[in-house]
Amino acid sequence: MFADRANIYIRSGKGGDGHVSFRRELFVAAGGPNGGDGGKGGDIIFVVDEGLNTLSEFRYNRKYCAEDGGAGGKNNCTGKDGADLILKVPEGTVIKEAASGKVIADMSHENRREVILRGGRGGKGNQHYATATMQVPKYAQPGQDAKELNVLLELKVIADVGLVGFPNVGKSTFLSRVTNAKPKIANYHFTTLNPNLGVVDLPDADGFVIADIPGLIEGASQGVGLGHEFLRHIERTRVIIHLVDAASTEGRDPVEDIRTINAELASYSASLLDKPQIIAANKMDVLYGEEADTVKEKLCQAFEPEGIKVFAISAVSGQGVKELLYYVAELLKTVETKPQVFEREYFEDPSIDITLPYTVEYNAQDGVYVVEGPRVEKMLGYTNIDSEKGFEFFQKFLKDNGILDELVELGIRDGDTVRMYGLEFDYYK
């Protein structure tokens, strides 16, 4: 079965915790700190695999976790880095944040490898926190937490053929016949509310991906119904098949149906009419003898002078379907493929849980202001203070959480020292 969508859970590796230990050395307080650093957690990495054409692998396993980093050891031993987890996907896979639907990465064209979640940074051992005023540091930095995300994988770019037509003309039935896709089928308008993708496999010919575009109506280009959503999908296709109700079971003229749809395409984007078109006159099994010939001749006279080939088919019985598919396969060989890349829309939220407690106190013995607590510890584990963005986030954290105001209330002055676990800095307003 062709799989074009998958919801999965991914988690990077947690950074290993720093270690607290002391060496035995004469005349050195408590032997001196020698706790090693924790190892970095593994990354979640997506790569394009040319040998894949579906997302079926992700239908059976929905949870993917990279390896955690190892904890630091004594004698300044660094913990082992966690192994990265590499997930292989077919070209054209768009990775989205599941809740918002925002694009994280488009695995197509030049983008063959993308780090989606980075592993947590390893915590520093207590050897890093020895100072003139704190020669026996009993604190080691915890490893940075793992990052987790629910993502939606969608196979988009390889939709070669767009199947369009008015509601209830048989597009879903046609797709279910020529591919392994299983769209919902019922006898009422707008049964299909989302595009359905399926792969057409042909003996002795190149296969292709066909997309069932939900039924269009007049005014779709102006956003009537879900028109804009439908038309965006057509933009990604290389060839358009118009499926029409040749038997006029709902009283519409098939020629007028095609004219109406083309008018909507042109109104939305004139370039859509530059795509090669094919007409599939469906439900021919309902017509008999001269009536069937008359309908086909009418369509041929109207559109073949414009270079649009007409095929008489029945999605139910299979009449004429094989000939149509082989014609499409040959036509696709002549159509130039233009790259289309979906830009990144989702960015990780670095916010810290404001319900976590913290304390701000003055240590008269050391002459420093001490800020501690789970909220502060989590922030330090998350933030790379050495980077420009990390330092900006650090400053914003102090201000937004009221820590700077509390320091002022305690009487802090320019040049005074502030200590946050193993981090010390001078305060300046």
Residue type present at position 360: V
- Angle between helix axes 254-268 and 227-235 (nearest 10 degrees) is 80
- Contacts of residue 50, Cβ cutoff 8 Å, sequence gap at least 6: 91
Average pLDDT over residues 85-112: 90
What is the architecture of the domain spanning 5-155? Distorted Sandwich (2.70)
**Residue 320: CB partners within 8 Å, gap ≥ 6?**
284, 311, 312, 313, 314
Q: What is the pLDDT of residue 8?
A: 96
Of residues 167 and 320, more confidence is placed in: 320
Percent of the chain with pLDDT over 90: 31
Distance separating alpha carbons of residues 208 and 281, to the nearest angstrom: 21
Res 257 pLDDT > 50: yes
Confidence (pLDDT) at 188: 37
- Predicted confidence at residue 97, as pLDDT, reads 92
Residue-by-residue DSSP string for 411-422: T--TT-EEEETT
Copy the structure tokens of residue 35.
Answer: 């706790």
Cβ(335)–Cβ(276) below 8 Å: yes
Percent with pLDDT over 70 in the chain? 82
Q: How far is CA 372 from CA 47, 266, 274, 359, 360, in A?
A: 41, 63, 65, 5, 7
Q: Which residues pair with 149 in a beta bridge?
A: 10
- With bands split at pLDDT 50, 70 and 90, how would you rate the model's confidence at 383? low
Hey, what are 241's tokens?
């098949």
Residue among 126, 160, 100 nearest 336 (CA): 160
Whether 64 has a pLDDT exceeding 70, the answer reads yes
pLDDT at 1: 37
- Taking 70 as the threshold, does the pLDDT of residue 184 lie above it? no
C-alpha–C-alpha distance, residues 72 and 69, integer Å: 9
Q: Which is more confidently placed, 377 or 333? A: 333
Task: Give the span between the Cα atoms of 140 and 126, in whole angstroms.
Answer: 5
d(CA 429, CA 419): 16
pLDDT of residue 423: 79
pLDDT tens digits along 389-401: 667 778 888 888 8
Show me where the domains of the chain are located: 5-155, 161-332, 359-426
pLDDT over 60 (residue 233): yes
User: Six-digit token pair at 39?
Assistant: 């190892």
* Structure tokens, 225: 């119904």
Which amino acid is located at 180 in the chain? N
Find the mean pLDDT for residues 313-320. 89
Q: Provide the token pair at 180.
A: 């392994």
Q: Is the pLDDT of residue 224 over 50?
A: no
Residue 226 pLDDT > 80: no
Strands 423-426 and 417-420, by their bridges, are: antiparallel
Least confident of 52-66, 221-235, 255-269: 221-235
Residue 387 is predicted with a pLDDT of 58
Q: Please give the residue that has the higher pLDDT: either 33 or 63.
A: 63
The two tokens of residue 45 are 């990495």
pLDDT tens-digit map of 211-222: 777 655 554 444
pLDDT of 140 higher than 80: yes
Mean pLDDT (whole number) for 356-370? 88
Residue that has been written with the tokens 């575009």 in this structure: 213
| Mean pLDDT, residues 362-376 taken together | 87
pLDDT at 406: 92
Q: Are 168 and 62 in contact (CB under 8 A)?
A: no
> Is 359-426 CATH 3.30.300.350?
yes
DSSP 268: H
Q: Is the pTM of this model over 0.85?
A: no
- For the chain, the distance separating the N- and C-terminal CA atoms, rounded to the nearest angstrom, is 64
pLDDT band at 306 (very low <50, low <70, confident <90, very high): very high
- pLDDT for 228 equals 47
In angstroms, rounded to a whole number, what is the distance separating the alpha carbons of residues 241 and 164? 6
Report the CATH number of the 161-332 domain: 3.40.50.300
Question: For residue 179, how many C-alpha atoms fall within 13 Å in the half-sphere facing its CB?
Answer: 26
Q: How do residues 15-53 score in pLDDT, each as one tens digit?
A: 999 999 888 766 665 577 889 999 999 999 999 998 887
Confidence category of residue 170, pLDDT binned at 50, 70, 90? confident
Phi-psi group of 33: left, alpha or beta (phi > 0 → left; psi -120 to 50 → alpha; rest → beta): beta
DSSP E strand stretches across 313-405: 359-363, 368-372
